[in-house]
Structure 1
């Protein structure tokens, strides 16, 4: 098979690694169990519906309503958004009712009234059957100290825990007889405890319905399979039928946001058909580090979007080195009804051959189209556009029924997806991959800076860094990092800078090329110096070598890596219909593989295809459905009709947009989207134009777009800001609010950043107010955007912001764009 990944450097002399997929060896239906998160939701709207729904999250773990452990993330509060977006079940971390960490040990008599209150509230919820009670958290370390080596001490502590487990179990069931209870929920796997626990729980009739423990060790990628096998053996030994398992905290900090690391975790959990929730190391509300702001994907989000797109059965994958930390691993699925096979892999650099065996002629025919795409690491807070297709090639199935897909120059932190579909007639359009190169900051010429090591196996809870190193302490007037780069031709290049900024506000550096006049690069705030974000700028370079220097500006910024990519025109992406989420019973037509798509999705009345469309910023984009007949597109509550191949000008919000396509009868190959987010034709109003009341004030700020923002808004029914907007036409608009706030409540945790969200009631004219949630922006001077659909009448309209009971965010300005431009 021709076509490989673009070269990332000199070819390796080593033989390619081999990862084998056996399509004839089913492991059972795709479960999607490993996409959960601890405190993945913080509020209704954080993360956004458009970021949450596509991932098909099966379980999350949250605190009880009113729990003091964190300032947000209450289970009942976030359940509305979670269930609205197709979420599965919610684990209630009952001991998170306490404020301190580790939990204050006030005795079981203090705990029981709290248990009563929690269970009464949850059992009264209309969705009570979708909650799971976790009465104890990490009892091997907290309250009971069951991880001690001394056997006599262990037995004393064990007996106290078992007594309390039985008491709380019965207390829960007395209030909620149908309650599902999970435990024992150790911080690490303990054979001794679990053997004793299962025997006790069976004898006393207090078995949990869900078995839980945590996998947070640097060796968990190596050890989990042994833990799982041992546990299932303990069940058989005790004569207990297999329980549902939820590894309700998993992964080290260095793994989160990194597609290549996530593949390793998810593959072992999906293979064993267990549920699993990623750990909460940093901030709540971003699905454990995979949603930027509230609605923007990073590389990890795209990996989980791929995972959510797997259908049918998972099949056996044999990696080069099973159960080995930081090595090439993968998972795969086969859906015979859709005639698709998918392989997700990653975790290792270099060259690999993916050998897919038993490619059935009755499903695929004698040729297949193999499409390879990459989800790269973009940082925890770094935006990632739609994953780029690297190769799309038609290949003949070998006589032994196998297909080999070569991957060359793989990046360790990236994940890759291979999709196999029937080849049909015609030739697929080859993928267009622009030239790109990466340069590590630690390899550049440093002046008054320091190289730090991050996120290694020995420091697994350090933050991820490209190449495990970054450059910090760039805090002297003369601090700078000079990168020597070489580009193949004269032209415009996209420069992506992976950075950290914990200076307390927007920070700047001076970018110069070959010692020329510097330009200012402004970096928004990040959670801390090592919580990576990505800044995109554009540079003009002539062919050959250059020195790109980033020198200290008005504050300190840390640097990890820069990427240079040839700009080939406006950003564009083709979203293949055969890989969209579907509703109804559409059929799949692979009779032709010509063009970009992997085939066609045939929609009839009652069918739908839902596309996840990325936009780099708020604004207008050109959207073209490639279909055989007219289709309807639904976006932001607006539905428009499109003729085949006819471009539409649609307003997209920054990040992910869910676009639903329906038709009476049409074969749809793709939804093609291009543009940079034009604001031509939008309405824009600065904060200074608003009419303020009830204590709301216009506050001067050099960081606001026009030098001032609306502050002191809310905390009273009379405190409002009213904008008068003039709509050229009636219809559905996107109201884009430019806002900032940095409200926090420090609960004293060493590793959680307890940021708060703020809300505002938005009222158009005399209509009913709509509550919008605004996530913390990491500083009072960093302005983010939130898009809210509103209906306007032609002519003058009022848009009023307020919050009668709490402070609203500071508002810099608003923009409005009609959905159909």
Structure 2
């Protein structure tokens, strides 16, 4: 994307006072839009695909870990080692290998944007000898960083549709092939990402994929940007999937590594709309676009404190279980995303991008009893330079459940604000989350799988180790506990090898220990083992690994279903 000079903060209206009124069953709904949430219709596990950022971190731990752990970041796109890029007049920063320890501590994967070895944007092409020497240097530096295991891919170029110097460098598709082939002379393991166009362009994408298939240089992650509003995201992804299939290409992971414009990125209501559409489209990951300074997750923090937008991502980070279907009235205006955690019997809905009085209808609540507790809160559209210490609680009340559903009207909504609705049983809800599903965790080089007998319907398998930090498998659980103490950690697992398997266990930088998994009756046939973990109050990161830096590797094979802390 273009890197403009810093603009003044967007002027936004103050969040109007908002009230919630309990409706009697079958009463007429208020005028306005209705977002329908089908809590009984899951469509993917919670992985927080849109909790990512371009140039989100700086080398000196900006923002600090306490600002990152609650939002459970999925993916970062960072500059390469020896970064030259000087965005918006700032000194070069964000070197992927230098921020790697912090990214690792918070469970985030990284993609290295290779052309940011150049200082200027648009990039100033020098020569093929110069570029290939830089590619060699980036790859060699990455290979030398033997304790870095969270690099997910090399992004070959950025916005080639307008930054590639065709006159000097020749056709981009040929240049892609030449660059990938050069990388593979040194690194045959790390995936590649591209083409990275500034917007969805089916003509360019078809030509790119055709060439990449013919030259055996297909990207592992297919990248483009969504910077022209959110309404086209579903159609773009669907068109890509159709194109992929028509060309005989196996499904790739779609990575939208820049989303939201300068006028949208700091507006929680608009960003909520983006996240909703990215989730429903089934992308693998998406990163907040970079328009200002690095080291703030692009406006989620200011002076290491949360802005209003941070709370939107905190609500996203609190989701667990499965994402469930949301249906807006139209592609513009009111939209949202939602989850259902079957272990807590809790529905979370985040919605916004509409003003006036609107409704959220939640169906599929028959299992929660005849009445439910409903909490509604909001975060304002107050911009990137105003810190917000907590969301505003609007209402906390009880609703009758009729025919398995409730309708919640929300009056005086501000289109710039985002709203959070929590629906849970009136009794029996745990005071804190105790079960953490493996498929909701940060999964590195293993696979999320499904099974009817798995907790919440999902688990993680194909956990392997080659002794190489680029290909070893591990799962990071970001957990939040109320007090510092020793907890019993129950691990749900399956081991179909017929013999005991082992994995490494570490948390919060502690020394590694070994967990043993006796054989179960087969793969996806689950048992449990218990161990003790000493956790601090608040957020902790627990890693279970077949292979990981500073851990030589486990033995045999085991699949992970969940961990539970009691």
Q: How far 1:14 sits from its partner (Å)? A: 7.4
Structure 1 residues 309 and 27 mapped into 2: Cα distance closer, same or farther (>3 Å)?
same
Contact 1:103/1:142 (CA < 8 Å) preserved in 2?
yes
Q: 1:376 aligns with which of 371, 374, 380?
A: 380
Q: Matched residues in 2 for 1:277 and 1:6: separation?
A: 33
Instruction: Check 1:583–1:25 CA distance in 2 against 1; reply closer, same or farther (3 A cut).
Output: closer
| Correspondence for 1:642 | none
RMSD: 2.9
Secondary structure at the counterpart of residue 185 of structure 2 = helix
Residue of structure 1 in register with 2:395 after alignment: 391
Query: 1:507-547 deviations in whole A, cap 9, x for unaligned?
Result: xxxxxxxxxxxxxxxxxxxxxxxxxxxxxxxxxxxxxxxxx
Aligned mates of 1:379, 1:127 — CA distance in 2: 35
Pair 1:209 & 2:213 matched = no
**2:257 aligned to which of 248, 254, 261:** 248
Contact 1:133 1:181 in 2 (8 A): yes
Residue aligning to 1:86? 107
Q: Does structure 1 residue 63 correspond to structure 2 residue 79? A: yes
* Aligned equivalent of 2:356, options 313, 330, 350: 350
Deviations for 1:30-83, whole angstroms, at most 9, x for unmatched residues? 121101111111223210111111111111111111121122111111111111
Name the SS of the counterpart of 1:286 in structure 2: coil
Distance in 1 between residues matched to 2:107 and 2:61, nearest whole Å: 14
Distance 1:190 1:144, change over 3 A: farther
Instruction: Provide the residue aligned with 2:452 in structure 1.
Output: none
The 8 Å contact of residues 482 and 537 in structure 2, kept in 1 or not, is answered as no
Q: 1:232 and 2:241 equivalent?
A: yes
Distance of aligned partners of 1:26 and 1:603 in 2 relative to their CA distance in 1, 3 Å threshold: farther
- Distance in 2, Cα, partners of 1:405 & 1:389: 15
Partner of 1:115: 135
Once the two structures are TM-superposed, the CA of residue 6 in structure 1 deviates from its matched residue by 3.2
Q: Does residue 339 of the first structure (1) align with residue 348 of the second (2)?
A: no
Tell me the distance in 2 between the aligned counterparts of 1:48 and 1:601: 20
**Equivalent position of 1:18 in the other structure:** 34
Q: Is the 8 A contact 2:160 2:195 kept in 1?
A: yes
Contact 2:128-2:169 at 8 Å conserved across structures: no
**Residues in 1 aligned to 2:341 and 2:197: alpha-carbon distance in whole angstroms:** 37
Displacement of 1:584 in angstroms is 10
1:281 aligns with: 291
1:107 shift after superposition: 2.5
Q: 1: CA distance between counterparts of 2:168 and 2:129? A: 17
Worse-matched range after superposition: 416-425 or 342-351: 416-425
Contact kept in structure 2, 1:49 and 1:85, CA below 8 Å: yes
CA contact (8 A) 2:259 2:288 kept: yes
Distance verdict in 2 for CA 1:583–1:318, change over 3 Å: closer
State whether structure 2 residue 418 is matched by structure 1 residue 415.
Answer: yes
TM-score normalised to structure 2 length: 0.70
Q: Which residue of structure 1 aligns with residue 19 of structure 2?
A: 6
Q: Which has the higher contact order (CA 8 A, sep 6+)?
A: 2
CA shift, 1:352, in A, is 1.1
Change in CA separation of 1:205 and 1:248 when aligned onto 2, cut-off 3 Å:
same
What's the offset of the Cα at 1:158?
11
Q: Write the deviation string for residues 613-646 of structure 1: whole angstroms up to 9, x where unpaired.
A: xxxxxxxxxxxxxxxxxxxxxx9x9xxxxxxxxx
Q: Which residue of 2 aligns with 1:41?
A: 57
Unmatched runs of 5 consecutive residues or more in structure 1:
8-12, 146-155, 426-575, 586-599, 609-634, 638-657, 663-821
- Find out whether 1:163 has 2:174 as its counterpart: yes
Residues 257-293 of structure 1: per-residue CA shift (max 9 Å, x gap): 2211110111111122311111111111100111011
What's the counterpart of residue 538 of structure 2? 660
> Residue 144 of structure 2 corresponds to which residue in structure 1?
124
Q: 1:160 Cα shift?
A: 2.0
Equivalent residues of 1:189, 1:215 under 8 A apart = yes
Instruction: Give how far 1:159 is off.
Output: 7.1
Distance 2:435 2:394 in 1: 25
SS in 2 for 1:304: helix
SS in 1 for 2:119: coil
Going from structure 1 to structure 2, the CA distance change for 1:584 and 1:25 (only over 3 Å counts) comes to closer
Match of 1:303 in 2: 312
Distance of aligned partners of 1:144 and 1:579 in 2 relative to their CA distance in 1, 3 Å threshold: farther
Post-superposition Cα deviations, 1:97-140, rounded to whole Å, max 9, x if no partner, equal 11122111112221000000000111222224533101111111
Q: CA separation of 1:202/1:300 partners in 2, compared to 1, >3 Å: closer, same or farther?
A: same
SS in 2 for 1:374: strand
The Cα shift of 1:144 comes to 4.4
Aligned to 1:404: 407
Pair 1:257-2:263 in alignment: no
The answer for unaligned runs of 5 or more in structure 2 is: 1-16, 21-28, 87-91, 439-480, 490-507, 511-535, 541-566
Task: Provide the rounded CA distance (Å) in 2 between the counterparts of 1:603 and 1:68.
Answer: 43
Q: Once the two structures are superposed, what CA deviation does each residue of 1:373-412 show, in whole Å capped at 9, x if it has no partner?
A: 11112320111021122111112210x2111112111111
| Residues 212 and 578 of structure 1, relative CA distance in 2, 3 Å threshold | farther
Q: Give how far 1:360 is off.
A: 2.7
Distance 2:290 2:102 in 1: 19
Structure 1 residues 409 and 38: CA distance shift in structure 2, 3 A: same
Distance apart, 1:172 and its partner CA: 0.9
Deviations 1:572-628 (A, max 9, x none): xxxx9746687799xxxxxxxxxxxxxx999995159xxxxxxxxxxxxxxxxxxxx
Q: Is the 8 A contact 1:21 1:318 kept in 2?
A: yes
Supply the distance in 2 between the matched residues of 1:157 and 1:607 (Cα, whole angstroms): 62
Partner SS for 1:33: coil
Say if 2:78 and 2:110, in contact at 8 Å, map to a contact too: yes
Q: SS of 1:40's equivalent?
A: coil
Matched, 1:178 2:59: no
1:380, 1:81 → 2: CA distance? Answer: 23
Task: Tell me the equivalent position of 1:797.
Answer: none
The alignment partner of 2:487 has SS state of coil
Counting strand residues as a fraction of each chain, which structure ranks higher?
1
Q: Is the 8 A contact 1:182 1:210 kept in 2?
A: yes
Indicate the structure (1 or 2) with the bigger Cα radius of gyration: 1
**1:314 is the counterpart of 2:323:** yes
| Distance in structure 2 (CA, Å) of the matches to 1:581 and 1:209 | 35
Q: Is the 8 A contact 1:129 1:179 kept in 2?
A: no
Local SS of the residue matching 1:405: strand
Give the C-alpha shift of residue 179 in structure 1.
1.4
Match of 2:231, SS state, is helix
How big is each residue's C-alpha offset from its partner over 1:477-520, in whole Å with a ceiling of 9 and x where there is no partner? xxxxxxxxxxxxxxxxxxxxxxxxxxxxxxxxxxxxxxxxxxxx
CA distance in 2, matches of 1:77, 1:602: 32
From the superposition, tell whether residues 288 and 243 of structure 1 become closer, same or farther in structure 2 (CA, over 3 Å). Answer: same
Does the CA-based 8 Å contact 1:582-1:607 persist in structure 2? no
Show the counterpart of 2:47.
Answer: 31
* 1:157 CA displacement: 10
Partners in 1 of 2:407 and 2:421 — Cα distance? 11
Give the Cα–Cα distance (whole angstroms) in 2 for the partners of residues 144 and 86 of structure 1. 37
User: How far apart are residue 350 of structure 1 and its match?
Assistant: 0.7
Alignment partners' CA distance in 2, 1:251 and 1:167: 32
Alignment of 1:193 onto 2:204: yes
